[in-house]
Amino acid sequence: MQDLRFMTNNNIPLTIKETQEGLKAKKFLAVELVDAYLERIKKFNPEYNIFLTITEEEAYKKARELDKVGLYDKPLSGVTASYKDIFLTKNIRTTAASKILDNYIPAYSATSVKKIEDAGAIPLGKLNCDAFAHGASGENSDYGSTKNPWNKEFVPGGSSSGSAAALAAGMSLVSLGSDTGGSTRQPANFCNLVGLKPTRGVISRYGVIAMSSSIDTVGTFTHTVDDMEIMFDVLKGEDGFDGIVKNFEKPQIKEEFKLGIAKEFFKEGLDREVEEMIEGVRKTFESINIEIVDISLPHTKYAVPIYYIIQPAEVSSNLGRFDGIRYGNNRDRFGSEAKRRIMLGSYVLSSGYYDAYFDKAQRVRTKLIEDFNLAFEKVDAILSPVSPTPPFKLGENTNDPLKMYLEDVYTASINLVGVPSLALPTMFSEGGLPIGFQLIGPNFSEHNLFELGRRYHQEINYKPKIAL
């Protein structure tokens, strides 16, 4: 067997296919993979603060079971997986990165966790994030900030900071996050990964600690589009617990695509390198005969204000259950960002302000949905930046909440509308940090987004890599 205990960039498996081919060819055992990943976690986690809980015993138990049978025939057999710490995991501490839940042990696992492990994945642990998933940088965790493996002076994005950083650091092959306003796509963008925000109502949210119930979705991180499609097919579908989730058949994959670019996405505030990146992506798609169409999404300029009315309103309602009586610690342990959102949400829902703020925001949200519906009558997908800037430094935006909220300018509208979006890595900034883009599609178009992403990566000969 190959000694994988000290995996490097040169031999760490970065895809599901590489992992499973190695297992089936007896190049290594699942137990040896666990050895290698745990070695990396123990080596780098103290410095980068990615894992909050390491499930070493559970990982070895699952790996030994796989090796004993010797069949790696399930979609995720032998694949190491880790979970943002808002996913409930039976008998394993789940904190939501908040000291309020510091000692909370769930009695059951989230549907998405169960589906991944039923498909053969090996669980490595629970990942750091902004507390209760409130944030766009990974700096709001009660257990300390997550650092970007590409440069530890910069943020990895948020709120699913650990979920992205774990893959960028080679500590896990796949991970689960959540996406309420960009919390999967933005950290994927900052960490050189593929990230998916699915159609709302495709993947069950059962067992995921709620932030904003009308906007929350389960997000996923991988190194490649092929792996993302495997993960999506494992996770999608009804579970009997989330009433909005419906089954759907894989659509016929299109041969020809029209790709839209909205003029509203290129206004003041967009970083020069990001704008140049989008222009390069546009030219690449044109070179592979993807027609580019100029479109307009006039109400997207209201997306961030709408989002920061609706989302805090739902946050204030969902956090009401943390009363220190049924479970968890006292509310005085809420962090500053949670308190800020509770106050905003309580205000817009209060008597005399509901009609002026919350009701009006819902009406404009309907206009936003109409914008996207009209656009998808003309195009099959929309090309957009994920973030207006490359990754920013730790501490750079922490004293300016409004500036931090504006990080969601290209992502929040997609969550408000409910359509899917696929974040794709493409290049590095002049400062050596990842920059990527997103493809937005109509409801249930995930497989066509995967096809577009595959064609793009094939054209640029994209090869996944890790930072450490």
Give the HSE-up count for residue 462: Cα atoms under 13 Å, Cβ half-sphere: 24
- Secondary structure (3-state) at 148: strand
Q: Omega into 159 within 30° of 0, i.e. cis?
A: yes
Q: Which residues are catalytic?
A: 84, 159, 183
Mean pLDDT for the stretch of residues 412-441: 97
Mean pLDDT for the stretch of residues 442-453: 98
Task: Please provide the average confidence, as pLDDT, over all residues in the chain.
Answer: 94
Q: What is the DSSP string of 325-355?
A: SSSS--GGG--HHHHHHHHHHHHHHSTTTII
pLDDT digits (tens, 9 = 90+) for 49-88: 999 999 999 999 999 999 999 999 999 999 999 999 999 9
Distance (Å, rounded) from C-alpha 449 to C-alpha 414?
A: 14
Taking 50 as the threshold, does the pLDDT of residue 203 lie above it? yes
Determine the pLDDT at residue 321: 82
Instruction: Give how far the C-alpha of residue 235 lies from the chain's centroid of Cα atoms, to the nearest Å.
Output: 14
Determine the pLDDT at residue 401: 80
Q: The tokens of 68 are what?
A: 């004993």
Give residue limits of the domains in the chain: 16-459
Residue 61, C-beta contacts closer than 8 angstroms, at least 6 positions apart: none
When comparing pLDDT for 326 and 83, which is higher? 83
pLDDT digits (tens, 9 = 90+) for 242-265: 999 999 989 899 999 999 999 999
The three-point CA angle 243-246-251 to 5° equals 165
pLDDT digits (tens, 9 = 90+) for 174-197: 999 999 999 999 999 999 999 999
Distance (Å, rounded) from C-alpha 247 to C-alpha 238?
A: 6
- Secondary structure (3-state) at 245: coil
Distance (Å, rounded) from C-alpha 145 to C-alpha 82?
A: 18
Query: Cα-flanking dihedrals φ and ψ of residue 248, to 5°?
Result: -150, 150
Domain 16-459 falls in which CATH fold? Amidase signature (AS) enzymes (3.90.1300)
Determine the pLDDT at residue 269: 83
Distance (Å, rounded) from C-alpha 224 to C-alpha 59?
A: 23
pLDDT digits (tens, 9 = 90+) for 117-163: 999 999 999 999 999 999 999 999 999 999 999 999 999 999 999 99
Taking 80 as the threshold, does the pLDDT of residue 211 lie above it? yes
What is the C-alpha end-to-end distance of the chain, expressed in Å?
A: 24
Instruction: Give how far the C-alpha of residue 85 lies from the chain's centroid of Cα atoms, to the nearest Å.
Output: 13
Determine the pLDDT at residue 40: 96
Handedness of CA 5, 10, 14, 20 (dihedral sign): negative
Strands 381-385, 80-84: parallel, antiparallel or unpaired by DSSP? Answer: unpaired
Determine the pLDDT at residue 1: 52
Taking 70 as the threshold, does the pLDDT of residue 10 lie above it? no
When comparing pLDDT for 324 and 297, which is higher? 297
Closest CA to 292 of 380, 222, 359, 215: 380
